[in-house]
């Protein structure tokens, strides 16, 4: 089936960037997004492959550089158990 969809330029740019990040051409990546949206979530979990997991982890890590770093004292025993002492 062939579907033609008009996409605003800013969305085209983001779609192209995500396709590159997944190592895919834009049409194939867009088709995979549609397949994911249509496919029931349960069957998707059952058929996971190593490349699927790699893509999922890459998606999760995509914005990890925006997570602020915590100071080392946030991981001290005192800061974790301060209510228990």
Residue 47 in any domain: the answer is yes
The more confident residue out of 85 and 82 is 82
* Tokens (6 digits) for 34: 């549609």
- Is 69 inside any structural domain? no
* DSSP letter string, 26-61: HHHHHHHHHHHHHS-HHHHHHT--HHHHHHHHHHHH
For residues 83 and 10, the model is more confident at 10
Chain segment 11-35, per-residue pLDDT in tens: 999 999 999 999 999 999 999 999 8
Tally of domains within the chain = 1
- 63 belongs to a structural domain: no
pLDDT for 80: 82
| Residue 75 belongs to a domain | no
Full domain range(s) for residue 3: 1-55
- The verdict on pTM exceeding 0.85 is no
**Within a domain: residue 36?**
yes
Residue 82 in any domain: the answer is no
């Amino acid at each position: 089936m062939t579907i033609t969809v008009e996409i605003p330029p800013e969305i085209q740019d983001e779609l192209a960037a995500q396709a590159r990040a997944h190592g895919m051409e834009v049409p194939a990546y867009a088709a995979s997004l549609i397949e994911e949206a249509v496919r029931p979530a349960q069957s998707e979990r059952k058929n996971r492959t190593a490349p699927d997991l790699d893509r999922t982890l890459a998606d999760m890590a995509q914005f990890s550089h925006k997570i602020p770093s915590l100071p080392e004292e946030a991981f001290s025993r005192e800061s974790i158990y301060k209510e228990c002492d």
